[in-house]
Amino acid sequence: MTNFLDPAILFFIFGVFAGTVKSNLEIPQPISRFLSLYLLMALGLKGGFALHKSGFTTEIGLSLGLAILLAIVIPIIGYWILRKKLNAFDSAAIAATYGSVSAVTFITATQYLDHLGLGYGGHMAAAMALMESPAIIFAIIMANKARAAQPSGHGTGQPVTGLSKVLHESFTDGAQLLLLGSMIVGLMSGDAGQKLMAPFSIDLFKGMLAFFLLDMGLMAARNFSGLKGKPPITLLYAIGSPLTHALLALVFCKLLGLPLGDTVLLMVLASSASYIAVPAVLRHALPEVNPALYMGMSLGLTFPFNIIIGIPLYTWIAKQLL
């Protein structure tokens, strides 16, 4: 119930309502882009300041290693399941979307943990960045394999996508670079930098997040239409996979003995689906797939589910088992 009374979540729900009733309420794209970059910068700074205090420990190494493992395992499992009902291209696109992560879901989860007073490591922002690209690489490999398997004269007409180009785009993406760069700035500047940046990166954060979630609510409502006429497995996967992936992360975290806050955030990262970075790459790398398929699933169903229900649910489950 606490999550439903959070102003940021209430603004998200309001945005969904406004979009559903087809209101002309709209956040200009440049402002939405600024809000996104602000949140990533503030999150990176916060992570860097925390890392400056804690240093790099074995526990941090285990968390980052697990994040990479999840980013590799989840799209492989997803592709294997989806391939039973969908073609190779649709399966690869959805597996990539759900194998990658949502920065806004993660940021909302950190605010929820802050509200509950549950601590977590600043390195978790780095874990999020590390989980961005493996699923994209996997999808490109599967798509290239599917194109190569097409009978002569019956190909898709699309050239094989070069991995080097995809890797360059993934690792030089502006949002990801800003997150990692901000973390380095916070790590180097330490306590003095934290005091100087507090009015910008801490005091304004909650209001900026609420404004951005209002925009995300509007976007989520507009993507509901992308789910019309889709195979039933896509709708089941959009809700079932977040729960499954979160529980998978929980099992690994318990085996490694990771603390509660880090466990919750890894569950949230594993359960989230990308609706910005991955779709931007897939539009060019997998033109055989209609973006409405994976955008409708990730932004129309999975994102609202995680924001409203998933984050408090994963936290509760982790508390019970840890």
pLDDT, tens digit, 9 for 90 and up, residues 245-255: 999 999 999 99
Angle at 241 between CA 239 and CA 245, to 5 degrees: 135
CATH of the domain at 292: 1.20.1530
Residue 158 scores a pLDDT above 60: no
3-state class of 302 per DSSP? helix
Q: What is the pLDDT of residue 155?
A: 52
- 225 is a domain residue: no
Contact indicator for 314, 267 with CB cutoff of 8 Å: yes
- 253 is a domain residue: yes
Task: Report how far residue 64's alpha carbon sits from residue 266's, in angstroms, rounded to the nearest whole number.
Answer: 10
3-state class of 276 per DSSP? coil
Residue 134: its H or E element: helix 134-149
Task: Report how far residue 267's alpha carbon sits from residue 248's, in angstroms, rounded to the nearest whole number.
Answer: 8
Residue 48: pLDDT band (50, 70, 90) is confident
Q: What is the pLDDT of residue 153?
A: 47
Q: What is the pLDDT of residue 160?
A: 54
Give the contacts of 311 (CB within 8 A, at least 6 positions apart).
3, 105, 108, 109, 112, 268
The residue-averaged pLDDT of 148-168 equals 60
- 24 is a domain residue: no
The residue-averaged pLDDT of 189-217 equals 89
The residue-averaged pLDDT of 34-62 equals 85
CA distances from 138 to 5, 131, 285, 310 (A): 39, 12, 12, 26
Residue 257 scores a pLDDT above 90: yes
Residue 2 scores a pLDDT above 60: no
In the block, which residue shows the tokens 């785009």?
169
Task: Report how far residue 268's alpha carbon sits from residue 101's, in angstroms, rounded to the nearest whole number.
Answer: 9
Task: Report how far residue 129's alpha carbon sits from residue 316's, in angstroms, rounded to the nearest whole number.
Answer: 25
Residue 213: pLDDT band (50, 70, 90) is confident
Q: Output the pTM of the full model.
A: 0.84
In the block, which residue shows the tokens 């589910």?
305
- 223 is a domain residue: no
Q: What is the pLDDT of residue 109?
A: 94
Q: What domain range is 121 assigned to?
A: 3-14+34-143+161-216+242-321
Highest mean pLDDT among 127-131, 263-267, 275-279, 296-300: 263-267
Q: What is the pLDDT of residue 91?
A: 93
Residue 316: pLDDT band (50, 70, 90) is very high
Residue 129, class by beta-carbon neighbours within 10 Å (0-12 exposed, 13-18 middle, 19+ buried)? Answer: buried
- 151 is a domain residue: no
3-state class of 25 per DSSP? coil
Mean pLDDT score of the chain, rounded to an integer?
A: 86
Write the secondary structure of 168-237 as one string of H (helix), E (strand) and C (coil): HHHHCCHHHHHHHHHHHHHHHHHHHHHHHHHHHHCCCHHHHHHHHHHHHHHHHHHHHHHHCCCCHHHHHH
Instruction: Of 163-167, 195-199, 233-237, give the lowest mean pLDDT range.
Output: 163-167
Go through the chain and tell me how many residues it has. Answer: 322
- 156 is a domain residue: no
Residue 244: pLDDT band (50, 70, 90) is very high
Instruction: Of 22-26, 166-170, 293-297, give the lowest mean pLDDT range.
Output: 166-170
Domain tally, the chain: 1
- 26 is a domain residue: no
- 132 is a domain residue: yes
**In this structure, what DSSP letter does residue 308 have?**
I
